[in-house]
Structure formats: C-alpha cells, structure tokens
A and B are shown apart, each in its own frame.
Chain A
Amino acid sequence: AQKVTQAQTEISVVEKEDVTLDCVYETRDTTYYLFWYKQPPSGELVFLIRRNSFDEQNEISGRYSWNFQKSTSSFNFTITASQVVDSAVYFCALSEGGGYQKVTFGTGTKLQVIP
C-alpha cells in the first residue's frame, strides 16, 4: 500500500526566510510518480511538479526547488526567500505506475509567511 507522510502540520516563517516542506513516502512499486500541489486560501489546488521514480535529479524553478532522494524515500520542497504569496497549504502526493493508479495525498503542510 502506498502512503505519504507530511509530518509538518503548520509552519510559520518571516518573509524572505527559506523554508523546507518535508514529504516522506512509502511504496512497494519500483515505478511511481511524486507530486507537489499548492492550495492557496481560495481553495483551488494548483499543480507544481511531477517527478518519476527514475529521475532523481533535483529541480529548481525560480524560488522553488525540489530534492528527491530514493535512499530516504523523501521528496522535499524548498522555497527560497519566501513571500507572503507563498502562504498556502502544500500537498505532497504519490501515484504508482501502470495504467490508472489512485493518487495518495499527504495531509498537507500549512505555510504561513509573515510580512
């Protein structure tokens, strides 16, 4: 069975600080996909990134970066120089490969960036 754990329920940082959101996953498959989504106060989830199990390269997109480590089953998300607009709930998710597969979401981390 697949499982996603986001141990940090809520995080508060002061604007311009860096912050890392942790995500630990469990799966028995060798082929799987990891995702991050952002849910701002408006409620609509926004897709941020997908990473497949064969690609351990870290990715950077502007102030966002993702660190994928299969050895520790982690897919952590770092926001550099945080801004108030980054305040949201962030969800990590996992889908096992092959045909239709249910996506398992973590419970989310609420990030509050204080001006």
Chain B
Amino acid sequence: SQTIHQWPATLVQPVGSPLSLECTVEGTSNPNLYWYRQAAGRGLQLLFYSVGIGQISSEVPQNLSASRPQDRQFILSSKKLLLSDSGFYLCAWSVQGPYEQYFGPGTRLTVT
C-alpha cells in the first residue's frame, strides 16, 4: 500500500531564516506530487506541482521554491522566510492523470 510522509510536523522559525520541508511517498512509482498551503481557517492554495523528476511548476509567485531530486521525494524550500509564510503545509500525491490526491499529515509552520 502507498504511504506519504511529511516532516517535521511542526516548526517555529524566525523571519529571515531558511526553510526545508520534505515529503516522501512509498509504494508507488512516478507519482504526481503537490505542495499546498492552508492559512488558518482558509482553503487550500496550490503552491507547486511536479509530474516527474526535476519537473516543477509554480502556481503562485512567492519566495518559496520546490525541488524533486528523486521520483518519490518532494522538497519545499525558502531562503528567507516571511511572516506571511506561516500556515499549514500539505504534501500530496496522485497517480498520473486527473485523479484523487492523497495527502500527508502536514507541517504547521509558524514564522515569528
């Protein structure tokens, strides 16, 4: 069966510090991978998606970046965090095509 892991679960970082969130998927090959952000009490905002290694598409211009160094690894990064980067970050995967996504447990990021 497939599983998706995200870490860390919670993170408190000062403004201007770097960020690295990691997501890995097990039990499947060549998945689509996604990073979403959810502000408190709000809906989901798609940040990045990837259909293959090294293929990253950005949905929203911002100071975040994503990388996919391996087939089942997706990393969200920032060189300098802003207060507005606080939120709940969710990683998800799906099989290739317009199918349902399966989400990880999320990372709660607080930028102070």
- Is B103 touching A45 in the complex (CB atoms < 8 A)? yes
Query: Digit string of A81-115 for contact with B (CB within 8 Å is 1, else 0)?
Result: 00000000001000111111111011110000000
Residues of A within 8 Å of B97, CB to CB, are 99-100
B51 at the interface (CB under 8 A from A): yes
Residues of B within 8 A of A106 (CB): 43
Complex-state Cα separation, A95 to B94, whole angstroms: 12
* Residue count of chain B within 8 Å CB distance of chain A: 23
Complex CA gap A96/B98 in Å reads 7
Interfacial chain A residues near B102, Cβ < 8 Å:
47
- Asked if B98 contacts A98 (CB within 8 A), the reply is yes
For B49, B90, B92, B99, which residue has the most chain A Cβ atoms within 10 angstroms? Answer: B99
The reply on A16 being an interface residue by CB < 8 A is: no
Q: Chain B residue with minimal CB distance to A35?
A: B100
Kindly state the separation between the CA atoms of A37 and B92 in the bound complex, as whole angstroms: 13
> Is residue B32 contacting chain A, with contact meaning CB distance below 8 A?
yes
Contacting residues, chain B, for A108 (C-beta < 8 A): 43
CB-CB nearest in chain B for A47: B100
Q: Which residues of A contact B59 (CB under 8 A)?
A: 102
CA distance A47 to B42 in the complex (A): 18
A44 touches B103 (CB 8 A): yes
A33 at the interface (CB under 8 A from B): yes
11 other A-B residue contacts (CB within 8 Å) besides A97-B98, A99-B97 = A33-B98, A33-B99, A43-B88, A43-B106, A44-B90, A45-B44, A45-B90, A46-B103, A91-B43, A96-B98, A102-B49
Binding site for B on A (CB under 8 A): 32-33, 35, 37, 42-47, 50, 91, 95-103, 105-108
Contacts A/B (CB < 8 Å), 16 sampled: A33-B98, A35-B100, A43-B105, A43-B108, A45-B103, A47-B101, A91-B44, A96-B98, A100-B32, A100-B97, A101-B98, A102-B46, A102-B49, A103-B46, A103-B98, A105-B44
